Chains A and B, each alone.
Chain A
Amino acid sequence: MNITELTLTETLEALKRKDFSEEELNKAYLERAAKLNPKLNIFLEIKKNSCGIPAAIKDAILTKGMKTTAASKILSNFLPPYNATVINKLIEQGISILGKTNCDEFAMGGSGENSAFGSTKNPWNLNKVTGGSSSGSAAAVAADLCAFALGSDTGGSIRQPASLCGVVGLKPTYGRVPRYGLIAMASSLDTIGPITKSVEDAAQVLEWISGSDGYDSNCSDTKFTLQPERLTQGIKGLKIGVPKEYFSEGLDPEVKKVIEDAIKKLEEQGAEIVEVSLPNSKYALAAYYIIVPSEISANMARFDGIRYGSARADFGPEIKRRIMLGTYALSSGYYEEYYAKAAQVRTLVKQDFDKAFANVDVIVGPVSPTTTWNLGEKIDDPLTMYLSDIYTISANLAGIPGLSVPCGFADELPVGLQILGKQWDEETILRVGYAYEQATEWRKEKPKLSF
């Protein structure tokens, strides 16, 4: 048995059966990480544990006594004096932190290239980006360097790298998982969620990390509970919406074909496919790039170089760009034109989903308009980079949950199917994801990594 290929669920079962010990489990992952990390640049720090189930944690999530840099030069020596709530919740479940993962600096970016510590390489092709911003977390799961990972998603930062790396990524409903100890980016959209080897694993991790801690006033008291019989009941009779706007220009024809095949597969499983319309989704990206930089300019004000971190000149280029954009959009004379307008358009984006979900149970489509691209290809053109988030950001504006599930390959590179659900209804998107995963063999595909 190859221990590191097991899913989280399989690992938990194997440990219960005493197929191997926690010590052997940790040794297997640590050995693999030691061999592969120098090539992939996934972990910024590795901790040598001998017990616990090894998880990889995005470096924007605080870990007590373990350096947390948000992949920024400004926090390169930051040692958090406390744990994020999600970390405490995982520790209670017997999870250990194997490593802190590389990401776009302060979670701002869609390729992993905005890290102050170098880009993470895509395990499927080392010349390509992983997507981002949870670049190292997605790559760690794809390369079997952890049993599961945590990422954060403000505009697609869990789903998009999961899609580009061929793994499962779940962005929970905004307010499902407490964010205490997540370094804030855009507070009205930030979420923490799992990146995993299977849909069942994602449901398991969500159960572990959900539920209020009293430190995040937007977090719901209602925990997500994994009910295996509901997850595995199949999708016969479910109504699945397909937004016509997600299949127009800009979508790579190869990716489109893979997604259409996946939708056929869902139909074969007994679901009813219905066309829906999200007419305001074409404005979502523009609204997002006003709202998010505005909130960023406020959140980043805390980095004053007095209480922690170095001087503000040490922010990377994307951080400075977004602070500048947000400060401009909020400045006197421009607030109404930009921020107030974007907040109204956000309402329309949300209402589109409300209308669509009155008739369907979930909405499916692509996660990303393309598969992964070459390192360096878009780095000098921020707007082109932003356009790669076109299908993921609407869910953040509306606060609804979204899942990325591996659904095939285009030119030998992974493609993810996005499944969006009603607010607080992670259960149904996981159920659809599970049914799809069981009906196909995609999750058994692994990148060929030679040492």
Chain B
Amino acid sequence: MKLTSDQIKHVAKLANLPLTPDEEEKYSDQLSKILEYVEQLNQVDTSDVESTFNVTGQSNVMREDETTPSLSQEEALSNAPRKKDSMFVTKGVFEEQ
């Protein structure tokens, strides 16, 4: 199955991934080949097979609800490309800023 240019654009948008037209073309080819390879999973009968998402068998691992020391505000902000008044600067939600 060959992925169309529209499908690639749609997936890139979902992934918040800016792609150049060259990249779109390249990934369309390469993803199609990989998906073709993956199609072989359909040869496997999995009608009565449970899914495996985690192999440790652990679930709902809890800890006591206690506060412990964490990063200071300064440390948490130390790698931010943009900060103002000890806060992260983000993109505007309703308009481009």
Contacts and interface: CB of A to CB of B under 8 A. Distances in A.
Contacts of B16: 301, 312
28 contacts: A79-B78, A82-B75, A175-B58, A188-B54, A214-B63, A286-B40, A290-B41, A306-B88, A306-B91, A307-B80, A312-B16, A317-B23, A320-B19, A325-B31, A328-B7, A328-B31, A342-B41, A344-B44, A344-B51, A345-B41, A345-B44, A346-B51, A347-B50, A347-B51, A348-B44, A382-B30, A382-B33, A383-B37
A344 B54 CA distance: 12
Contacts, number: 145
A321 interface: yes
SS class, residues of chain A in contact with chain B: helix
A350 B57 CA distance: 13
Give me the 8 closest cross-chain CB pairs, A-B, nearest first: A399-B55, A308-B79, A343-B51, A344-B46, A217-B61, A81-B75, A327-B15, A175-B56
A277 interface: no
A331 B44 contact: no
Contact of B46 (A188, A301, A307, A341): A341
Nearest to B91: A306
Given A290-B38, A324-B11, A350 B52 contact: yes
B45 to A, nearest CB: 9
B34 A347 contact: no
Contacts of A174: 55-56
A307 B58 contact: no
A323 B11 CA distance: 9
A286 B37 contact: yes
B56 A323 contact: no
B30 A297 contact: no
Contact of B55 (A307, A313, A350): A350
Nearest to A282: B40
Nearest to A350: B52
Interface string B50-91: 111111101001010000000100011011111000001111
A183 to B, nearest CB: 13
A307 B54 contact: no
Nearest to A77: B79
A324 B13 CA distance: 10
A283 B40 contact: yes
B49 interface: yes
Given A344-B51, A347-B49, A297 B41 contact: no
A331 B11 contact: yes
A428 interface: no
Interface in B16-35: 16-19, 23, 26-27, 30-31, 33-35
Given A324-B31, A423-B55, A283 B71 contact: no
- Interface residues of B, dominant DSSP: loop
A338 interface: yes
Interface of A: 77-79, 81-82, 174-175, 188, 214, 217-218, 220, 280, 283, 286-287, 289-290, 297, 301, 305-313, 315, 317, 320-321, 323-325, 327-328, 331, 338, 340-348, 350, 382-383, 386, 397-399, 423
Nearest to A351: B49
Contacts of B3: 328
Contacts of B52: 343-344, 346-347, 350, 397
A289 B35 CA distance: 9
Contacts of A280: 44
B97 interface: no
B25 to A, nearest CB: 13
A324 B8 contact: yes
Contact of A309 (B19, B30, B79): B79
A305 B17 CA distance: 12
B40 to A, nearest CB: 5
B47 to A, nearest CB: 9
Nearest to B12: A324
Contact of B15 (A77, A217, A290, A323): A323
A330 to B, nearest CB: 9
Contacts of A290: 38, 41
Contact of B42 (A188, A305, A341, A346): A341
Nearest to B28: A324
A310 B80 CA distance: 9
B14 interface: yes
Contacts of B18: 311-313
Contacts of A283: 40-41, 43-44
A306 B44 CA distance: 43
Contacts of B41: 283, 286-287, 290, 338, 341-342, 345
A313 B46 CA distance: 39
